[in-house]
A and B are shown apart, each in its own frame.
Chain A
Amino acid sequence: MAEEGVKVVGMWASPFVARVEMALRLKGVTYEYLREDLANKSEMLLRYNPVTKKVPVLVHGGKPMAESAVIVEYIDEVWKDGYPIMPADPYERAQARFWARYADEKCNPAIYVVYTSAIGEGQAKLVHEAQECLKTLQKALEGKKFFGGDAVGYLDIVVGWYARWVPIIEELSATSIVTLGGFSTSVTDQELPMIKAWFDRILAIDVVRETLPPRDKLLPLCKPDSDWVNLGGFWSLVAVGWIVSVMACVGSSNAVWVTAMMTWAGVHGVVLDGGWGGRSRVSSLSLTTGEGGTPLDVRAATLVVGAVAHRRRPRLECCPVVAVARAA
Chain B
Amino acid sequence: MLSCSPTSTHHPHSTSSQHSHPQTQTDRHPSNAPTMASEKSSSDLTLLDFWVSPFGQRVRIALAEKSLPYEYVEEDLLAGKSERLLQSNPVHKKIPVLLHGGKPVNESLIIVQYLDEAFPDTPSLLPSDPYARAQARFWADYVDKKVYDCGSRLWKLKGEPQAQARAEMLEILKTLETELGDKEFFGGEHGFGFVDAAFAPFTPWFMSYEKYGEFKVAEVAPKIAAWAERVGKRESVAKSLYSPDKVYDFIGVLKKMYGIE
Contacts and interface: CB of A to CB of B under 8 A. Distances in A.
Given A77-B133, A102-B91, A91 B114 contact: yes
Given A63-B131, A94-B110, A98-B106, A70 B141 contact: yes
B153 interface: no
A97 interface: yes
Interface in A282-320: none
Given A91-B103, A94-B111, A70 B137 contact: yes
A67 B135 CA distance: 10
Contacts of A98: 105-107, 110
B134 A71 contact: yes
Contact of A66 (B110, B133, B138): B138
B107 A101 contact: yes
Contacts of A97: 107, 110, 113
Contacts of A67: 137-138, 141
A120 interface: no
Contact of B134 (A73, A91, A93): A73
A136 B133 CA distance: 30
Interface in B99-126: 100, 103, 105-107, 110-111, 113-114, 117-118
Contacts of B114: 90-91, 93-94
The SS class assigned to the A binding surface is helix
B130 interface: yes
Contact of B100 (A73, A91, A102): A91
B212 interface: no
Contacts of A101: 107, 110
A65 B117 contact: no
Interface string A60-84: 1001011100110110011000000
Nearest to B119: A90
Contact of A65 (B91, B103, B138): B138
B142 A51 contact: yes
Of B130, B135, B141, the most chain A CB neighbours within 10 A belong to: B130
B115 to A, nearest CB: 9
A234 B130 CA distance: 52
A91 B107 contact: no
Contacts, number: 56
B152 interface: no
Interface string A83-105: 00000001101100110011000
B164 interface: no
B25 interface: no
B118 A91 contact: yes
Contact of A77 (B100, B113, B130, B135): B130
Given A93-B114, A102-B91, A65 B131 contact: yes
Of A60, A90, A102, the most chain B CB neighbours within 10 A belong to: A90
Contacts of A60: 131
Nearest to B116: A90
B175 interface: yes
A74 B133 contact: yes
A60 B134 CA distance: 12
Contacts of B130: 74, 77-78
A228 B134 CA distance: 46
Nearest to B139: A51
A60 B111 CA distance: 28
Of A60, A94, A101, the most chain B CB neighbours within 10 A belong to: A94
Nearest to B110: A97
Interface string A21-53: 000000000000000000000000000000100
B105 A91 contact: yes
Contacts of B103: 91
Of A77, A78, A93, A98, the most chain B CB neighbours within 10 A belong to: A98
A161 to B, nearest CB: 20
A105 B175 CA distance: 23
Contacts of B117: 90, 93-94
Given A91-B114, A91-B118, A93-B117, A74 B105 contact: no
A74 B134 CA distance: 6
Given A63-B131, A90-B117, A90-B118, A73 B137 contact: yes
A104 to B, nearest CB: 11
Contacts of B142: 51
B71 to A, nearest CB: 19
Nearest to A102: B91
A102 B114 CA distance: 17
29 contacts: A51-B142, A51-B175, A63-B131, A65-B131, A65-B134, A65-B135, A65-B138, A66-B138, A67-B138, A67-B141, A70-B137, A70-B138, A73-B134, A74-B134, A77-B130, A77-B133, A90-B114, A90-B117, A90-B118, A91-B100, A91-B114, A93-B117, A94-B105, A94-B111, A94-B113, A94-B114, A97-B110, A98-B106, A98-B110
Interface of B: 91, 100, 103, 105-107, 110-111, 113-114, 117-118, 130-131, 133-135, 137-138, 141-142, 175
Given A94-B110, A94-B117, 12 more contacts: A51-B138, A65-B135, A67-B137, A67-B138, A70-B138, A71-B134, A90-B118, A91-B118, A94-B113, A97-B107, A98-B105, A98-B106
In the A-B complex, the 10 residue pairs with the closest CB atoms: A90-B117, A77-B130, A74-B134, A94-B114, A90-B118, A70-B137, A65-B134, A94-B105, A97-B110, A78-B130
